[in-house]
Amino acid sequence: MALRILFALFLLSGLALAETVWLEDFNTAADQDKGAIGPGPVITSPSSGKWSVNVDNCTLADVKDWFKVTNNVFEGVDLDGTQGTNGTGDGAIWTSESISITGYDSIDISLNVSLRDSSKHENPDFIKASYMLDDGSITQFGFLYDSFGPDTFSVSGLSGDSIRIYVEMDCNGGKENIRFDNVLVEGYVPPTSVDSPGTFSATPASASEIDLSWTKNGNSDNVMIVFNTSGTFTNPITKTHYAVSSSVAGGTVIYNGSGNTFNHSSLSSATHYFYKAWSVSADTLYSSGVLCDTTTSKEEPSNHVLSFSSTADDRSIELTWSDNDGAATADGFLIKASTTSLAAISAPSDGVTESDDTDFSDGSAIKNILPNTETFEFSGLNAETTYYFKIWPYSNSNSNIDYKTDGTVPSQSIATTEAVTRAIDLDFESSGGYTTNIAEFNDGNKDYFVRTNGSDISSDVSFQNIRGSYYFAAQDINAEGATMPLYLYINNVDISNLTDLNFSIYIAEDDDGSNQDYDAGDYIHVDYDIDNSGSYSNLIWVEGTGTERNSEPLIDTDFDGAGDGTAITSTFAKFSKDISSTGNEIDIRISFSIGGAHEDIALDDILLTGKSVQTDFVLNIKVLLEGAL
């Protein structure tokens, strides 16, 4: 008894930790109703094979008489065993499988017992629990009879190589239900004085290798390392040596030796690996262990981008492409640019990140782009200047970044146009510059007609390639009582000294997942009127297909009320149109008629440019004078 008390105090001291050796909580869906059911009885075994039943001492005369799993507990009902006084009879027996407890200094057993209704039971009704160590004698460790409340049977301090658990019960009434649950076997790993390794780190070296390093403990004990991909480990068994490739502690041994580094190779790319390292003493005692984990690098991207193209105005160049993912996808794209030549653009080097620098102050620029963006605009450029661009896909980041530099690297060269005058330059970054026919509104969710940065409208709406921070957006615009169409105006714009007018606008529409939502009659129309003629001319129209419900919004190239051109997507894209006529003033009117749920539009960077008549006149005079000289 004194030894038992001392050991219990030792366990409570925290120097040894309990591990779950075996558990049956009867929660497995496939095991519901497994056991014995009358009449007959019919006996079925659990899917796990972890236990069995014996009802030879009982009479299960009715389908409502059972000794089985029900509602995630094990229950006996109207078993009709031998019904001895004070619960001394024989009943139905539940028996666990033989449970290995090798390698543990101490074993505890516990289970919960209860009655559905304690008022229904009599003196002969009982439940008892017993165990058998190493195929020896059966020892009882819990017993209750007659009526009783919820209780726990438990025993501790056992040891051996194997153990088997028995639960026996009897009751003889249709409303007498005895239950037990959570049969738990816990084992205590013997405490040791072995210190764990010091720092333990994992560093991805490539798509197929992780390099491990550690510092030994103060005794310079050997180290054993186990890996898995689940992150769940147990502990090795004391006094047991494990060779490399052994299965132990929830994983596989990859190292057992005296070094302090190991390169774990032949791994899968982009896979998370977990490691646990134990110090191993000369007499094969194990420390508590230390953990680390990391993910192997991704493979170099399989493909270069496709359809790398460029468009320019006098101040900016927009690049577009298709990500063109292959078997190994890109984590990003690097664009490098020069004002000198394509040859002046150096290829990136693996393992070296390049920081964004887009101002061309030194004649070069760099930009990293996330996947699925597929567009970028360099702005603040000089007019009539040629710019050169190359793009590389890459995987991973920081010291593991891996660029695809082989094959033909996509490139572009393009010159900005001659300088033009901006009659309209509306980017919505600040208020003003336009009017609306009704006050802007926003319900904070999916009904709005407003200048926004996206933070005050539905989070379901998502756009890419946003031009700065703010844009103008509309959705379900009649839900708040407005009468469609609604209008946005840019009026009384001076064009008196301009020719070769060009209008452009960026447009996007959230795709509502894989759905499309434009119905017949839904539209966004951009029109113009010169010198207050009272008649607007078509400029850029967006329509559904014209006949279908829930169709894709498209550019209406022929202004017949049915979209037939480029699709409007959730990525802001530029659309432009020349205006052949001119005058003194121009009015731009944008009409909105989108009144259904999820019918939305977003507009940004509205430009109207033209060539200055005065500049052209002065230039022509200069040319004539130079010719005369």
Task: Indicate the SS3 state at residue 352.
Answer: coil
Q: Which residues make up the CATH 2.60.40.10 domain(s) of the chain?
A: 200-295, 306-415
pLDDT at residue 9 tops 50? no
Q: From CA 357, how far away is CA 335, in angstroms rounded?
A: 10
pLDDT at residue 95 tops 70? yes
pLDDT at residue 270 tops 60? yes
Summarised one tens digit per residue, pLDDT across range 351-376 is 999 999 999 999 999 999 999 999 99
Summarised one tens digit per residue, pLDDT across range 148-163 is 999 999 999 999 999 9
Average pLDDT score over residue span 60-75: 96
The domain 423-613 having CATH identifier 2.60.120.200: the answer here is yes
Long-range CB contacts (within 8 A, 24+) of 311-314: 311/414, 311/574, 312/387, 312/414, 312/415, 312/416, 312/417, 313/416, 313/417, 313/420, 313/504, 313/607, 313/609, 314/383, 314/384, 314/416, 314/417, 314/418, 314/419, 314/420, 314/609
Q: Which residues make up the CATH 2.60.120.260 domain(s) of the chain?
A: 17-188
User: Which amino acid is located at 515 in the chain?
Assistant: N
pLDDT range class, residue 184, cuts 50, 70, 90: very high
Q: What local confidence, expressed as pLDDT, does residue 624 receive?
A: 54
Pick the CATH number of 200-295 from 2.60.40.1120, 3.40.190.10, 3.90.1300.10, 2.60.40.10: 2.60.40.10
Q: Which residues contact 629 (CB under 8 A, 6 or more apart)?
A: none
Determine how many CB atoms are found less than 10 A away from the CB of residue 47.
11
- When computed from its CA atoms, the radius of gyration of the chain, rounded to whole angstroms, is 39
Q: From CA 388, how far away is CA 339, in angstroms rounded?
A: 6
Length of the chain equals 629
Using the structure block, give the residue that is written with the tokens 């606008």: 505
Residue 504 burial (C-beta neighbours within 10 Å; 0-12, 13-18, 19+): middle
Partnered with residue 612 across adjacent β-strands are 498
Q: What local confidence, expressed as pLDDT, does residue 14 receive?
A: 36
Summarised one tens digit per residue, pLDDT across range 533-588 is 999 999 999 998 877 778 889 999 999 999 999 999 999 999 999 999 999 999 99
Encoded tokens for 24? 């049956």
pLDDT range class, residue 173, cuts 50, 70, 90: confident
| Between 67 and 104, residue with greater pLDDT | 67
Determine how many CB atoms are found less than 10 A away from the CB of residue 155.
17
Q: What local confidence, expressed as pLDDT, does residue 514 receive?
A: 65
Q: From CA 466, how far away is CA 311, in angstroms rounded?
A: 18
Q: What local confidence, expressed as pLDDT, does residue 118 receive?
A: 79
Q: What local confidence, expressed as pLDDT, does residue 236 receive?
A: 94
Cis bond leading into 39, ω under 30°? yes
Q: What local confidence, expressed as pLDDT, does residue 513 receive?
A: 58
The domain 17-188 having CATH identifier 2.60.120.260: the answer here is yes
Q: Which residues make up the CATH 2.60.120.200 domain(s) of the chain?
A: 423-613
Residue ranges with strand state E in 205-260: 210-214, 222-228, 247-248, 251-257
User: Whole-prediction pTM value?
Assistant: 0.55
**Helix, strand, coil percentages for the chain (3-state, nearest 5):** 5, 45, 50
pLDDT at residue 239 tops 90? no
- The region of weakest confidence among 11-15, 39-43, 205-209, 361-365 is 11-15
CATH topology of domain 306-415: Immunoglobulin-like (2.60.40)
Q: What local confidence, expressed as pLDDT, does residue 242 receive?
A: 96
Taking CA atoms, 303 is separated from 326, 357, 408, in Å, by: 6, 25, 10
Q: What local confidence, expressed as pLDDT, does residue 521 receive?
A: 86
Average pLDDT score over residue span 162-178: 93
Q: What local confidence, expressed as pLDDT, does residue 465 receive?
A: 87
Q: What local confidence, expressed as pLDDT, does residue 10 receive?
A: 39
